[in-house]
Structure 1
């Protein structure tokens, strides 16, 4: 729940910034950027191109500021610690979160952007819970090249779906 709250807060922040720039051209640019970031994420997941490592390194600077607070919460002994650790965990560098944040900014509304990021977080719950419960099996599955290629291809397709039709026409 803490991670979902941090995603929603990040969504509200980018949505608030989007309010300041109520321009449909900017929305198209941001959504195109989000789609391109998803495509690069798919290439990374499929291990066809590792360029996304550089984007995640930018986020690691933020994480280096947050990391000391998280180490004080381990091991988790109560619900409050778990919520707080989850909240901090939501700020971990992640290309998929970054692309979704860019997409959320296109809503140009804090509440809509926050809701989109919260929904994104809910959508990641099955994978996160499964990974936690079946870590060894998931690790083996994710090491399979065919699974990597399929997952990467699905993310790439979603990236193309995210790019607005107007951006494709203007090319």
Structure 2
């Protein structure tokens, strides 16, 4: 979870700063880019990540159990089969998911540097549908000067959380590696909290002209952070396969 938190914190510097800038502009139409309304938007977005993380963890759990399911079925008829016997098969899936997460992270880093097409282009139809929905949700009612209420602000945040995003996809794969809905949800909540500083400040940045040039080298910094996350997930996958040793810092598993 620490690695995913850092991914959200630093990866958002180069990714969210450009991709989500338009979202802040849309939300400004309903006056929810500051104060308690902006807080509700952020809470809604992070809740969406938690829901998606729970689903990813559930899928990951299914894949892991699928790998060991046949052996578990036989274990009911053979008392000599232990959990230790099943563990290598389970580690194959978790290690594979971790390595897949690493590959996606490396690709995202290259995309942030403009070396390869952005992964969001693969979901362009979904992104356009999401954009049309957000434009409808943020239309200010005619002849109304009333700002968005609690439910509207929180709901807009929920909708924001479902924006197709390569960085979120990488975090979701990490949530799937966690192997359970609870851990997957907590993983994505950690990611969401990590993105909070940048996305919180975007409410202010969106109101400034040429805000994208206010902080130089954001994309490079973000790309480096995503690469480090990819390295960490690579080592975790290889450790699950027994090719390298796990590294623990106290009770926290680094990989």
Range class of TM-score, shorter chain: 0.7 to 0.9
Cα distance, 1:8–1:21 mapped onto 2, change above 3 Å: same
Q: What residue number does 1:159 align with?
A: 230
Flag the structure with higher helix content.
Answer: 1
Matched, 1:114 2:181: no
Contact (CA 8 Å) 1:46, 1:153: kept in 2 or not?
Answer: no
Contact (CA 8 Å) 1:39, 1:159: kept in 2 or not?
Answer: yes
Contact (CA 8 Å) 1:63, 1:93: kept in 2 or not?
Answer: no
Q: Residue 136 of structure 2: which of 52, 57, 71 is its match?
A: 71
Q: CA RMSD in A?
A: 2.6
Q: What residue number does 1:16 align with?
A: 58
Cα distance in 1 between the residues matched to 2:237 and 2:180: 22
Q: CA deviation at 1:149?
A: 2.4
Q: What residue number does 1:128 align with?
A: 199
Matched, 1:45 2:112: yes
Cα distance in 1 between the residues matched to 2:60 and 2:193: 23
Cα distance, 1:165–1:134 mapped onto 2, change above 3 Å: same
Cα distance in 2 between the residues matched to 1:4 and 1:132: 16
Q: Which runs of 5+ in 1 are unaligned?
A: none
* Number of equivalent positions: 166
Contact (CA 8 Å) 1:7, 1:117: kept in 2 or not?
Answer: yes
Matched, 1:95 2:181: no
Contact (CA 8 Å) 1:2, 1:90: kept in 2 or not?
Answer: yes
Matched, 1:3 2:45: yes
Q: What residue number does 1:30 align with?
A: 97
User: Which one has the largest radius of gyration?
Assistant: 2
